[in-house]
Every structure is written in C-alpha cells, then in structure tokens.
C-alpha cells in the first residue's frame, strides 16, 4: 500500500452566522476536506489496506457516487482493479468521474438496492473483495474516527450530532466512535427518501440496517426526514458560511431547523463537497 495514513483529520469549525440565527452553538465537521472530497475516504482507506493484506487484486462496490469515486481513486493508485455497480439514475457527472478514475462500471437496475444485489452476485462468482455496506465492518470502523476527532476537538460534550443518513453506515460508525470517548451525544439521522436534490442519500436504502438500528437504540437517537425545499435553503445557508457542500450534507442543517434549542453545542457532519459537480452547483446557485 502507498505510504499514507489510513485516516485524515478534518476541521471542526463554528458556524457563526447559523449560531446567531438559531441561538445556539453550531459546529460543522468538514469531511469534504478528505482527499476525494467526502467522508468515504475514511472507509476506503481501511478497506484498501484490508484487501491488500489478504492478497486481493480486485475490489467491488455498489454506490450512488461518493463511495465509488473514493474507491476508484485509491484502488487505482494501489494497483487494484475496481468494479463499481450503480443504477442508471445517478448523475452523469458522477459516472464520468468514476470512469475517469479507471473503474470498470456496471450500470444495472433503477435504484441502489438493485445494483447492490447484482454486485453481490458478481462478487460471489469471481471471489473478489467486497467493499459494500452491510457486508464490510471496515467501513464502520473507518467512520468511527470522526467521533473520536470530534471528542478531541470540542471542549464540551455536544448535545446532538446530525448525520446525513442513507445506508446507516456513517451513523453506526459515528456512534461506535463515541463509545470510545467520554461523550454520548444524541445522534440525529437526516434522511431524504424521495429527493431530486440530495442524490447521495436518496432512497434511504438502509443496507447497514442492523447496525443502524443498534446505534439508534443505544444512542437514543432519531431520524428526521427533510424535503428538497428545506435542503435547498439549508444548502444556500451553508454556502453563505463559505461551505460549498453537496445538498446531502445540508440535510443536517435542514434537520436542525426542525429541532428545539439546547444549551450544549450541535455538530453537523458535512459529508461531501459540491465543487466536483457543476450541475449540482447550478441547481443551488440558480434557484
């Protein structure tokens, strides 16, 4: 494996404008500063190391974009052949980026769950490394480092941590990380089951449903569904805070605006950047 760490520490910043507007301290954990622009690099680096240590030369994942982009990049530079299974409805820009990074693209089905099933069949037939949510605990282990960093970066326990949620992997990972610290915040999962804007979390697929439910129960957490109008407004507000995130990340702020005030800080997990995708930027900047 190339000589780089298996995780990169990301900034935790206070959102001054949002904090003033809401009357509470709001912080953003900027996961979009990871090498490929999303928190998925934490998962990928763990899995690449695991795959190479077990002698695999090929790796496969079903993804709506960010995980595939991350896995494609790190597979390429580590000499692994990467197979990406995705459905026909993901943004064209993400498809082009995956192909540019050298992955073999398998377009199948109309949603992530259909692509996932086809991916598993392919993995079983060809005996290659399985990088899928719900089937690889290294993903949760990678995401757990986010919570450990928050505990080290924040001087007091946050009352809530709000997380964009689809498969549940990130939610479960952050909870696992907090169990290694002195902090036990309530975890809020922001969901957008039906969306044309927050495509990274569209469908609320819950491929890591078992671990998600376990984390929800243990953290006394909850899920909040947000609309595209709420997400659009939240995305614009985060842009005014100089945070050009993809709309899926802004669902965290949209969810926060539905909650009551607390005396302790709230942390928003900003999972991905919008700067790779001109069409996404245009949707926000022109509305």
Count of domains forming the chain: 2
The verdict on residue 181 lying in a domain is yes
The verdict on residue 271 lying in a domain is yes
Are residues 229 and 211 both part of a single domain? yes
| pLDDT score at 90 | 86
92 versus 250: the higher-pLDDT residue is 250
| pLDDT score at 3 | 62
Cβ atoms < 10 Å from Cβ of 133: 27
The verdict on residue 7 lying in a domain is no
Are residues 186 and 263 both part of a single domain? yes
Last residue of a domain, one of 130, 156, 180: 130
The verdict on residue 6 lying in a domain is no
Are residues 46 and 81 both part of a single domain? yes
Are residues 236 and 264 both part of a single domain? yes
Last residue of a domain, one of 130, 165, 191: 130
The 10s digit of each residue's pLDDT in 213-226 is 999 999 999 999 99
Last residue of a domain, one of 130, 162, 178: 130
Are residues 276 and 148 both part of a single domain? yes
Q: Look at residue 271 and tell me whether its pLDDT is greater than 80.
A: yes
Q: Look at residue 270 and tell me whether its pLDDT is greater than 80.
A: yes
Integer distance in angstroms from the first to the last C-alpha of the chain?
44
Are residues 120 and 163 both part of a single domain? no
Q: Look at residue 286 and tell me whether its pLDDT is greater than 70.
A: yes
**Distance from C-alpha of 260 to C-alpha of 22, rounded to nearest angstrom:** 10
The 10s digit of each residue's pLDDT in 18-36 is 999 999 999 999 999 999 9
Q: CATH number of the domain that 23 lies in? A: 3.40.50.1100
Are residues 281 and 187 both part of a single domain? yes
Are residues 265 and 124 both part of a single domain? no
Collapsed DSSP state (helix, strand, coil) of residue 202: strand
The verdict on residue 243 lying in a domain is yes
Are residues 145 and 59 both part of a single domain? no
**Distance from C-alpha of 196 to C-alpha of 206, rounded to nearest angstrom:** 19
Are residues 176 and 98 both part of a single domain? no
| pLDDT score at 4 | 59
| pLDDT score at 258 | 97
Q: In DSSP terms, which residues pair with 106 in a beta bridge?
A: 85
The verdict on residue 45 lying in a domain is yes
Mean pLDDT for the stretch of residues 139-159: 97
Asked whether 6 and 50 are in contact (CB, 8 A), the reply is no
The verdict on residue 56 lying in a domain is yes
Are residues 34 and 84 both part of a single domain? no
Q: Domain containing 66: what range?
A: 40-130
Got the DSSP string for 4-61?
S-S-----EEE-HHHHHHHTS-EEEEEGGGSTTSBTHHHHHHHHHHHHHHTT-SEEEE
Are residues 117 and 18 both part of a single domain? no
For residue 102, the 8-state DSSP code is T
The verdict on residue 277 lying in a domain is yes
């Amino acid at each position: 494996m190339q000589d780089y760490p298996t995780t990169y520490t990301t900034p935790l910043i206070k959102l001054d404008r949002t904090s003033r507007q809401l009357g509470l301290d709001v912080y953003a954990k900027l996961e979009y500063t990871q090498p490929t622009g999303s928190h998925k690099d934490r998962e990928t680096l763990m899995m690449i190391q695991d795959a190479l240590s077990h002698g695999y030369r090929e790796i496969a994942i079903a993804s709506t974009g960010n995980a595939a982009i991350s896995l494609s990049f790190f597979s390429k530079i580590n000499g692994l052949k990467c197979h990406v299974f995705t459905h026909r409805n993901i943004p064209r820009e993400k498809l082009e980026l995956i192909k540019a990074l050298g992955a073999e693209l398998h377009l199948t089905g109309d949603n992530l769950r259909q692509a996932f099933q086809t991916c598993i069949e392919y993995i079983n037939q060809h005996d290659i490394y399985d990088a899928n949510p719900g089937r690889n605990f290294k993903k949760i282990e990678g995401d757990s480092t986010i919570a450990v960093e928050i505990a080290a970066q924040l001087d007091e326990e946050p009352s809530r941590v709000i997380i964009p949620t689809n498969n549940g992997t990130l939610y479960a990972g952050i909870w696992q990380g907090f169990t290694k610290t002195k902090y036990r915040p309530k975890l809020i999962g922001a969901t957008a089951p039906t969306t044309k804007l927050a495509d990274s979390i569209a469908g609320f697929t819950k491929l890591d449903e078992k671990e998600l439910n376990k984390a929800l129960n243990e953290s006394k957490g909850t899920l909040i569904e947000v609309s595209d109008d709420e997400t659009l407004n939240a995305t614009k507000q985060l842009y005014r805070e100089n945070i050009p995130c993809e709309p899926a990340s802004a669902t965290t702020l949209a969810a926060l605006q539905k909650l009551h005030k607390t005396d302790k800080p709230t942390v928003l997990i900003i999972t991905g950047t919008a700067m790779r995708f001109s069409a996404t930027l245009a949707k926000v900047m022109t509305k």
